[in-house]
Amino acid sequence: MKSNRSFSGNLTNQETIGGFCYLIFMLVFLPSLLSWMNSQLTHPLSSAELNFVFYLVNFIAILLIFHDFLGRGLNQVGQHPAIFCQAVILGGVAYYACNWATTWVVRQLVPSFTNYNDRAIAAMSQGSYFLTLIGTVILVPPVEECLYRGLIFRNLYGKNRWAAYIVSILAFAVIHIIGYIGQYAPLELLMAFLQYLPAGLCLAWAYTKADTIYAPILIHAAINFIGLHGLR
């Protein structure tokens, strides 16, 4: 179904090409490159410190690639602050409602299941709570929202609304479990996958509602902050 809704201003070809190239680099090459570089240090970084470097590199790259896009989004917030606030509030409420329902289903299927990504973040926060806080609340949301909502969702939305939602939601869920494939049983991976679907749906909806990437960025940051606080 072709969408009759369009965003104010499109990504430039430079932003689109640069975004997709960096997304591939971030997923395929950057983790291994940073791990190798860390292994060459006389005093290697801790897991929390290395993850912070990963987040920081991504944040800087996204600012360089999408600085015009982010600037246009900020202008949209200033022009329509009421719509922006409405999108953030409704998107956040929708996320927690959908997340509660999904968590209930997961617990019925696998009562003992605990999200291993949450366990990894909890372990990092024990190593350095400050770095984990800055990384997950300040650095991660702009990166993931620019890539999964701004790049993937926005580019598909004008062509096919349903494809935009489906592809961006699935991509967002997969990226949070792909690093654990082979380490956990398929059922555990499926449960973790299900837990990330509400975020992908509600963040994409908030983006269309507010017409600015800052709506899902703010919701994402709040979700991560509340989640990290709950892991302490």
98 domain-assigned: yes
Percent of the chain with pLDDT over 90: 82
Q: Are 153 and 207 in contact (CB under 8 A)?
A: yes
CB of 199 closer than 8 Å to CB of 71: no
pTM of the model: 0.94
pLDDT digits (tens, 9 = 90+) for 82-111: 999 999 999 999 999 999 999 999 999 999
Q: What angle do CA 107, 204, 102 make, to 5 degrees?
A: 10
Token code pair at residue 81 = 């602050």
Residue with tokens 């961006």: 168
Decide if 71 contacts 15 (C-beta within 8 A).
no
Q: Work out the mean pLDDT of the chain and round it to a whole number.
A: 93
Lowest mean pLDDT among 31-40, 58-67, 114-123: 114-123
Using alpha carbons only, give the angle 16, 204, 138 rounded to the nearest 5 degrees.
75
7 in any annotated domain? no
Residue 150 lies in a domain: yes
Contact 187, 181 (CB under 8 A): no
User: Locate tokens 């590199």: which residue?
Assistant: 57
With respect to residue 47, please indicate whether it lies within any of the assigned structural domains.
yes
How confident is the model over 30-42, as pLDDT tens digits? 999 999 999 999 9
Centroid of chain to Cα 168: 10
Q: Judge whether 77 lies within some domain.
A: yes
Within-domain flag for 100: yes
In a domain, 26, yes or no: yes
Task: Flag whether 1 is in a domain.
Answer: no
The answer to whether 35 touches 50, Cβ cutoff 8 Å, is yes
Residue ranges making up the domain that contains 160: 13-231
pLDDT at 118: 84
* Residue 181 phi, psi (nearest 5): -65, 130
Nearest by Cα to 146 from 74, 91, 50? 74
Integer Cα distance of 209 and 223 in angstroms: 18
Whether residue 128 contacts residue 49, with contact meaning beta carbons closer than 8 Å, is answered with: yes
The tally of domains found in the chain comes to 1
Mean pLDDT of 148-168: 96
